[in-house]
Structures are given as structure tokens and as C-alpha cells.
Amino acid sequence: MQPDAPSAGRVQQSQIALHGQLYGYRMAGAGPLIVLLHGIAASSATWEHVIPRLTKQHKVLAPDLLGHGESAMPPGDYSLGAYANVLRDLIAVLGQERCTIVGHSLGGGAAMQFAYQYPERCERLVLVSSGGLGREIHPLLRAASLPGAELVLPWLSVVGEQSIALLLKTAGRVGLRGSADLEETWRSFAALERPEARRTFLNTIRDTIDLQGQRISAHDRLYLTAEVPTLIVWGEKDPLIPVSHAHRTHEVIPGSRLEIFPGTGHYPYLEDPERFATILLDFIRTTKAPRMDAERIRNRLHAGPRPSAADIPGRQSG
């Protein structure tokens, strides 16, 4: 199945066959490519208010990650590496080569993995309330990694609208705010009604989280992003992944840009899509994408962490 070319102003929802499975995605616009990756149990629909703000200057691709939305949900590998592999193949089959990759929450972990595995394809890296940058995470997500969680998820996904009032009353007790945090978390749980979606959710959670918190940390490899312009966006009141992860990561990545959204939670791009799009477009406009070749990648791996300013040729930051 070959995708139709999207028009510049219209967001097109499509599916494409890849490795014998169907994958869903949204695409619109024309120009240099921006890829938007959603978080766990979400879908490309989460970017619906952001995409139109980007398409005058860029082509935008928002895929449904493997096991999410309208994409295939086969049994198997749901590691960050698997997400990165499928994304590389999806970009290739859609006729694209390089991109600015934006990842929210789980999508941030997948975006970093993509940048590590395929640096020649990554022009810029944007981490939005990203996973994989510290151990701390909300107890609700830690609890989902426990044995028996599969017995609770079906109830959460079908309790219905009559429970929203109760959820609003208890949201503050667990740190969720009665706005984008609550609405998007609710929508994510509702998406787990299908057994295969619950299986995907649990496989992904258990691959990345345990009772102590996030199992996977990117900090031992963040030096590999030294030549990639990096933007970090976080909500000041994020209840799921603390804003301290943003500050620590900003210190570790040379020349990175940090944007904290005051008073917002885990979904800054939903609470203020206009500001998010403006910051993203300005970041792209004021930074220069590196050209990575095999020798440069080899030298970076050999040098290891703590690069000096001399190790970052041509690096620009806004």
C-alpha cells in the first residue's frame, strides 16, 4: 500500500504496510521533516493541535508507534530499539531521509534510541517530558509493572464516564491535575480496552520500568548527542516524570536548550500548543543540523563522554 502525497494544509491519516503489518500515521505539510512521537498508550492523535501549526514550513509525520493507535499489535519485541527500528523503516518507505525528531514521554526514549542507532538520519533531537533520563517516576507507572496489573487494566479501560467525577476528586491525591494530565491519562487508559493493546502496554512498561522506577537510563550515552542540536521541553508541575530530569539532562548535553513551561504538567504541548510550536520552529530555524559520517561517529564512540567544545564542529545553538 503506497501512501498518497499529503497536501500542505490538511492532516492526512493513513496506513502503510511494513514487514507484513499495517502501521498508522498522520502526515501533512511540505519542507524539512519533523517526526512527532507520542507516549505510552497514546497515539498520533495527541499531536492534533500541534501539527497544523508546523505545516507551513515543514512536512510533519506523526506515527502510531508499534502496538499503539492504528498500528499493528503483534506479540514480540517492544523495546526502545524495536521502536527505533520500525521508525527508521517507516521513514524510509515514506521516501524521507533525515528528520528533526520530537519525542514525548516513552516517545522521548524512542527518539533518543533512534538518534543513537541512526545518527546519520537525525538532524535535531527534541525531548518533551521524556522517559529514560532518571529513575524517578510516578507510583502509578511503577505499579503497572507489577504481576497482576493485567487484571486491573480491563477495569480501568471500561469503567466509563460515570467514574470521571470520582477520578477528578482523587486526581490531586496522586498528583494529577484536572486538565491535560487527567484528560490524556484517561484517554490512554480508555485505549486499553482491546486485549492486544493491554498486552502491548504491559510489555512496554515491563521492559522500561520496575517497582523502583525507570530501568533504562540514557545518561551513559548522552555524550553521543554532542553534535546534535537538542531541545528539552518540560512542564514545571509534571507529576509523572519530575522536572529535575530536565535540568540534569540540560547540564549533561553540551549546548542544549531548555524550555520549562510554568504551571503545566506532563503534556506541555497540549496545554499550550501555540507556545510549543513557536519554540520548536525557532529551535529548528536557529540551529544547524550536522552531517554525520562513519568516521565522525567512530571518533565520537572512541572518545567517550565529556566532549570538549573543540569536539563539536560547527555547532550552533539558539
Residue 68 grid cell: 499503539
Burial of 198 (0-12, 13-18, 19+ CB in 10 A): buried
219 SS3 class: coil
Residue 15 grid cell: 496506513
Q: Which of 138, 245, 250, 266 is catalytic?
A: 266
Q: Which of 68, 238, 245, 272 is catalytic?
A: 238
Residue 199 grid cell: 498486552
Number of CB atoms found within 10 A of residue 196's CB: 13
Residue 256 is a catalytic residue: no
Spell out where 30-144 has E strands: 33-37, 59-63, 99-104, 122-128
Q: Give the whole-angstrom CA distance, residue 203 versus residue 17.
A: 23
| Of 37, 36, 14, 35, nearest in space to 25 by CA | 14
Rounded to the nearest angstrom, the gap between the alpha carbon of residue 18 and the centroid of all alpha carbons in its chain is 21
Residue 272 is a catalytic residue: no
Q: Which of 43, 44, 71, 105 is catalytic?
A: 105
| Of 132, 99, 114, 124, nearest in space to 65 by CA | 114
Residue 4 is a catalytic residue: no
The residues assigned a catalytic role are 105, 238, 266
